Structure 1
Amino acid sequence: MDDLFPSKIQPDARRGRGATSNNAGRFERLSTAKVDDGWKEAEDTPHRTTLYIDQARKIITRNQSPDVPFDRSINPYKGCEHGCIYCFARPTHEYLGLSAGLDFETQLFTKPDAAKLLEAELRRPGYSVAPIAIGTNTDPYQPVEKELRIMRGVLEVLAKYRHPVMITTKGGLITRDIDILSRMARDNLVRVQISVTTLDTKLHRAMEPRASAPTVRLRAIAALAKAGVPVGVNLAPVIPALNDHEMEAILAAGARAGAESAGYITLRLPGAVAPLFRDWLEEAYPKRAKRIMRYVQELHGGKDYSADWGKRMRGEGVYAAMIARRFAVACGREGLAAKRPELDCTAFRVPVRPGDQLSLF
């Protein structure tokens, strides 16, 4: 069907969005497309944000990946309104019967009971403490958080239980929660990574249309650092021939703002993300599209993406080695640590509630 009917959504219907299409997910038996039947030209209606409640039973997700420095995470939201075209989490929407394209940016699932569920899990007998990562899948500080305050509630629980947490975000809204974060920082219970993908406002608007502007993210780094919250700058993803030339400038800007550490991840294009990214490139940067994808494939053994452990986050080959070397040199020059200090897992306490002592009898 993709060969017979156009899959792209008209620009006016996706203004302020990242993806150019909304094709059915890989698990769907049927797909639909609007066509011009000769009588009246098919029109796309604007794709507006719709919120749904995710009736989750648990809030902590476990993983055993050797590529990440944590074994548990929390995602207050499914889907992300930031609309980053490169987001590796897009295919998760296909498990919901939705598209990894515009649906991922507009059909959002919220977890209003996240704080309540988290408290129940932390109170379970035998709970073993380890840092919880937030923002590793979808952003906890995307626009809807300003009103829903789900992440705020999660932080309040973590602070009450003195539980360590690692936060990654592109949202300047994180500064709203500095009151909680600064208290946790005094006890070595929190670490924040602010992702700064580009300093180019034109590229930012095209590539991650509803994420905070680069200047806002740098101001967030400065505000967190001033409040005593350990904060790092994260260049993720590094995209060859598109934003990789900005690495040194981004790290320098992050260091000036107050970042004490840095990290990077090369572009990952799993599943439906690859065709979405290719379509976006052809529309936004047509003259560079082929060269960019050639370098991306060089990072992943000749394919758009390789999920091999130990390689998927950094890539392999000459280009990957060059990126790693540049990153190391820049971090050394700016005084940015590549390794973050461990958070305190010994301070965890389950607060006593009225009536708890009765359980002894």
Structure 2
Amino acid sequence: MKKLLLIIGFIASAAVAVGSVKNLPYGIFWLPAVATSASQDPTDWRAWKNGHVVGVVARLSWEYLEPSEGQYNWAYLDAVNESAQNAGILWEIEIACGAKDGADTAFYPSWVVTDGAKTVTLHSNTGVPATICVPWDPVFQAKWQALIRALGARYDTAENLRAVQMTGVGRDGECYFCSNNPKYISDWEWVLSQTPDGTVAEGEQLWVNAAETIAGYYANAFSQTPFLYSTGAPMPRSVDRKNTAMSSVVSALNTTYNVGHLWRFGTRSSGYHYNGTVDPWGARYGIFFQGYQQNKPQKSGTAQEASQAYQSPYNGLWFEVYAGDCMIDSNFSAFDTFNSKTAAMVGSSAYQ
């Protein structure tokens, strides 16, 4: 395989050359709540003066970003981009378009539904309903593609933007779709009702096709910025015990966007805790571009998580840590070690 080394360090300019692919994200990333209004000002983040944080995650709702069709509120992301450049910090974009985890509060704008996008009410594993746009609905896909295209046109060349989390395929920001709780098997039964013959294979393929289609939107819009799925189990384990739906998507995207050239597609586990489940896709498909997000704030226990997340078999390049945990002094030494170790991983590990 062709060996290409990454270069660590910030480029002086705010943009990268057309046709190049940026370095991968690494280190500790500051993780705030999803912004849903202008009252949440990212310029106030203490991350900008925190020497133990390498990056930040800009998370905001589709409703806030595009309150009317084609009318974009760029103020939040512009502020993050400018602050990151000034502070010499990396950043990641996540536009939430499902429903808030633990509450049936839509992150998508109402005009999408008014224009004809279909919705479905699914459930978390604890039974909390989540009404979201159907990922394979053509109206939703057209509206979502337009937003992604506009997003890429504005930020793809921003040098400090190192990753874009793809959304639009799950209940929230991850790839979880149907509930895994047998009490809510109605989620899966609804999926089957959308297929010609009601077979398991047809039901899984509906979601797989949507996930690959939406990934294509991001790939076209972000030719220079790596993109990722926060992976999960989209189908109930009683139906898809080996999570073949997610595996099919990861395999296809890995082959399409990673083999033979610079890494573009990666994965991230959003439920990481100390001694928790290892993200399987790196070991299964050789994906180097993989990271972790805290399952929940751990206060001073975050140091223990950070001390593990970069080591084998976890091999995380970046670790998204809740904002409050990023400000606890007792975590800083572990953060510094994580940052230096992952910087070395990105700097010395070979691309394909």
Fold in common (TM above 0.5):
no
Higher relative strand content = 2
Higher-Rg member (1/2): 1
Identify which of structures 1 and 2 has the higher relative contact order when contacts are C-alpha pairs closer than 8 Å and 6+ apart.
2
TM-score class, shorter-chain normalisation, is 0.3 to 0.5
- TM-score relative to the length of structure 2: 0.39
- TM-score relative to the length of structure 1: 0.38
